[in-house]
C-alpha cells in the first residue's frame, strides 16, 4: 500500500457543518416506529452527516426535512402468481430475443404497478406521512 504526504484534493473545500448522528433530540421529524438513524459522508475524510431515519425492515425512509420515501417492489403491491411468472420468465435466459424479454417485463411490471397498494403497506405509509413534512404543511394551512 502506498501512502502519500499530500493533502486530499477536497481538504479545503467548503462543506456544510457536520451534524453528529447522536443528536437526535434536535430533530423535528421522528418516525412512528423503531428505526435506525441514517447518515451520509460528504467525502471520505469527514464524519457522517445526519440525514434521517430508516425503518428496521429498510422499507421506509424519513429525512430530517420530513420527506417520506417508500421502497416500491412486489411486496408493496402484492404480486399474483401470473405476474411473478411473467417477470421471472422475462428475466430468464431463454431463447427469447432481448426485445421480447423487455416486452414481457413491461407487461409484468405494468400489471404489478396497476394493482392497489396493499392495505397494510398503505396504513404504514400514512403513519409515516403523519410524522413527516406533509402533515405539518396541511396543519399550518
Residues 6+ positions from 84 with CB-CB distance below 8 Å: 74
pTM of the model: 0.65
Dump pLDDT digits (tens) for 117-130. 999 999 999 999 99
Encode pLDDT of 75-126 as tens digits.
Answer: 888 888 988 888 888 887 666 788 888 888 899 899 999 999 999 999 999 9
Q: Where are the alpha helices (DSSP H) in 70-97?
A: 74-77, 81-91
pLDDT by residue (tens digit) across 6-20? 666 666 666 554 444
Identify the pLDDT of residue 99.
Answer: 83
Amino acid at each position: 500500500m502506498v501512502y502519500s504526504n499530500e493533502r486530499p484534493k477536497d481538504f479545503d473545500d467548503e462543506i456544510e457543518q457536520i451534524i453528529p448522528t447522536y443528536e437526535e433530540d434536535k430533530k423535528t421529524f421522528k418516525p412512528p416506529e423503531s428505526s435506525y438513524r441514517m447518515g451520509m459522508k460528504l467525502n471520505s475524510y469527514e464524519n457522517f452527516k445526519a440525514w434521517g431515519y430508516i425503518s428496521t425492515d429498510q422499507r421506509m425512509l424519513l429525512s430530517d426535512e420530513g420527506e417520506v420515501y417508500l421502497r416500491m417492489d412486489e411486496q408493496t403491491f402484492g404480486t399474483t402468481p401470473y405476474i411473478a411468472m411473467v417477470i421471472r420468465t422475462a428475466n430468464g435466459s431463454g431463447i427469447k430475443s432481448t426485445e421480447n424479454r423487455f416486452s414481457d417485463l413491461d407487461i409484468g411490471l405494468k400489471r404489478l404497478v396497476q394493482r392497489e397498494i396493499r392495505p397494510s403497506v398503505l396504513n404504514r405509509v400514512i403513519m409515516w406521512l403523519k410524522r413527516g413534512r406533509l402533515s405539518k404543511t396541511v396543519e399550518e394551512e
